[in-house]
């Protein structure tokens, strides 16, 4: 068993040993042609080292053995006159070439070790950061909720509640919203962040559409909806779409169009929320999915935003192996979420149109 394990581990070294010994035998048997097997030995050793990077001690021993053996082979032939004496200089030259290779290989390995260590440190830091974010948000939630509760009681029991109370309540609500979103983001790294189920996409999107079209006076449109089964986390998908539609509502005026649609693309589906809103400036759009990204901070704050909605959308979509994108101009924005794991229903084109019509009839 042990011998087999050793053979498995060291088969390349053993193969090289056999190859080198055979070449050494040829050196001795055919002294006139010995420079060919001689070079084979050295080149194959250099090749072997490239794959194996032996420890320093083994390197010295192997180098010494090859140096002495090939030196004796060539030296003997120089003495008996089958090779000129200058051939002997090949031995230190080949050793120097081998050592240069050893040096470069070690430099490369040291650089790789540093990179590996740095990446492990970065990973540990990220885990620590995530845990801190989660714990801090979690711990802050309770005192904020208690403070808000007390303030609400105070406001209710006071005969003339001061306007400062409303400001304080608004701010506490804002903190609660931020904490909730931070908690959600902190969970994004955990393996159970998304629990995938099979979602019937058409009724799911219709439901999102119906909920929103009833709360905001916009020119709501349900575009073509690809019907089929999507493997996704329903809660995550709902949060992502709600965030996009919420943004579309926030950044459009009454009567402006907001369209929800989806299209199949191979085994993926692209869900889109398009609006006729203010659009996003070119310099803001490049980092719009980052945490705390805000295209227009003053306006965002006035609208009650904190810049975490799209970061959450991005985290949810990425956890599904998909990706987000946005196209924007002064005429409006279109956010697209691409999800893999979609199986389009047969006769989907008909059902999607029928679905849109059915919904139009309901409204
Ligand atoms: N549909 C949209 N139209 C115009 N600007 C948008 C739209 N969606 C997002 N934005 C911009 O992107 C920023 C980030 O959005 P988001 O992450 O949802 O944060 P929040 O809504 O909390 O401000 C917003 O502050 C806004 O400036
Ligand atoms: Mg938002």
- Asked if residue 239 has its Cβ within 6 Å of ligand 1, the reply is no
Which ligand sits nearest to residue 178's alpha carbon? 1
Q: Where are the beta strands (DSSP E) in 50-189?
A: none
- How close is the Cα of 294 to the center of ligand 2, in Å? 9
CA distances from 145 to 131, 150, 163, 169 (A): 22, 9, 20, 10
Residue 344 phi/psi, 5-degree rounding, is -70, 140
Tell me which of 244, 282, 305, 334 to substitute to probe ligand 1's pocket, judged by most ligand atoms within 8 Å of the beta carbon: 305
Mean pLDDT of the chain: 90
Digit-coded pLDDT (tens) for 266-317 = 899 999 999 999 899 998 999 999 887 777 766 666 666 778 899 999 999 9
- Asked if residue 308 has its Cβ within 6 Å of ligand 1, the reply is yes
- Asked if residue 300 has its Cβ within 6 Å of ligand 1, the reply is yes
The minimum-distance atom of ligand 1 relative to the CA of 303 is 23
Sheet architecture: strand order including 197-200: 197-200, 228-232, 342-344
- Asked if residue 274 has its Cβ within 6 Å of ligand 1, the reply is no
- How close is the Cα of 197 to the center of ligand 2, in Å? 26
The minimum-distance atom of ligand 1 relative to the CA of 297 is 25
The minimum-distance atom of ligand 1 relative to the CA of 181 is 22
The pLDDT of residue 298:
66
Q: Is the pLDDT of residue 347 over 70?
A: no
Cα–Cα dist 328/332, whole Å: 6
The pLDDT of residue 185:
87
Tokens found for residue 314:
């991005």
Q: Is the pLDDT of residue 75 over 70?
A: yes
Q: Is 70 helix (H, G, I), strand (E, B) or coil?
A: helix
Q: Is the pLDDT of residue 354 over 80?
A: no
Digit-coded pLDDT (tens) for 131-144 = 888 899 899 999 99
- Asked if residue 315 has its Cβ within 6 Å of ligand 1, the reply is no
Which ligand sits nearest to residue 293's alpha carbon? 1
Cα–Cα dist 52/60, whole Å: 14
The pLDDT of residue 124:
94
- How close is the Cα of 327 to the center of ligand 2, in Å? 16
Given the structure tokens 């909720």, which residue do they identify?
A: 145
Which ligand sits nearest to residue 280's alpha carbon? 1
Report percent pLDDT > 90 for the chain. 68
- Asked if residue 73 has its Cβ within 6 Å of ligand 1, the reply is no
Helix (H) or strand (E) holding 297: helix 297-302
Question: What residue owns the CA closest to ligand 1's atom 18?
Answer: 309
The pLDDT of residue 351:
46
Cα–Cα dist 332/284, whole Å: 14
Report the predicted TM-score, pTM, of the whole model to 2 decimal places.
0.68
pLDDT (mean) for 236-260: 95
Overall CATH class of domain 192-362: alpha beta
């Amino acid at each position: 068993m042990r011998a087999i394990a050793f053979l498995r581990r060291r088969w390349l070294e053993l193969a090289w040993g056999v190859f080198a010994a055979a070449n050494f035998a040829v050196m001795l048997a055919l002294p006139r042609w010995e420079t060919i097997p001689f070079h084979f030995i050295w080149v194959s050793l250099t090749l072997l080292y490239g794959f194996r990077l032996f420890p320093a001690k083994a390197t010295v021993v192997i180098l010494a053995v090859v140096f002495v053996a090939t030196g004796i082979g060539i030296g003997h032939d120089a003495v008996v006159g089958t090779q000129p004496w200058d051939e002997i200089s090949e031995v230190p030259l080949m050793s120097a070439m081998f050592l240069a290779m050893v040096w470069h290989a070690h430099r490369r390995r040291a650089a790789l070790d540093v990179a590996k260590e740095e990446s492990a440190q970065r990973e540990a830091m990220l885990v620590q950061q995530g845990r801190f974010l989660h714990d801090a948000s979690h711990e802050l939630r309770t005192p904020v909720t208690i403070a808000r509760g007390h303030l609400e009681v105070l406001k209710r029991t006071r005969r003339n509640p001061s306007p400062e109370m409303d400001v304080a309540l608004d701010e506490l609500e804002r903190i609660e919203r931020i904490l909730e979103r931070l908690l959600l983001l902190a969970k994004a790294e955990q393996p159970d962040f998304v629990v995938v189920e099979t979602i019937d996409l058409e009724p799911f999107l219709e439901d999102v559409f119906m909920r929103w079209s009833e709360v905001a006076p916009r020119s709501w449109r349900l575009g073509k909806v690809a019907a089929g089964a999507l493997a996704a986390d329903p809660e995550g998908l709902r949060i992502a779409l709600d965030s996009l539609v919420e943004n579309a509502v926030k950044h459009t005026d009454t009567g402006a169009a907001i369209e929800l649609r989806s299209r199949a693309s191979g085994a993926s589906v692209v869900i889109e929320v398009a609006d006729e809103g203010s659009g996003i400036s070119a310099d803001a759009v490049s980092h719009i999915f980052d945490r705390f990204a805000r295209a227009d901070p003053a306006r965002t704050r006035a609208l009650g935003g904190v810049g975490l909605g799209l970061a959450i959308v991005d985290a949810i979509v990425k956890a599904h192996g998909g990706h987000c994108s946005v196209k924007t101009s002064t005429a409006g924005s279109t956010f697209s979420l691409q999800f893999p794991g979609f199986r389009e229903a047969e006769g989907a084109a008909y059902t999607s149109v029928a679905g849109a019509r059915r919904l139009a009839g309901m409204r």
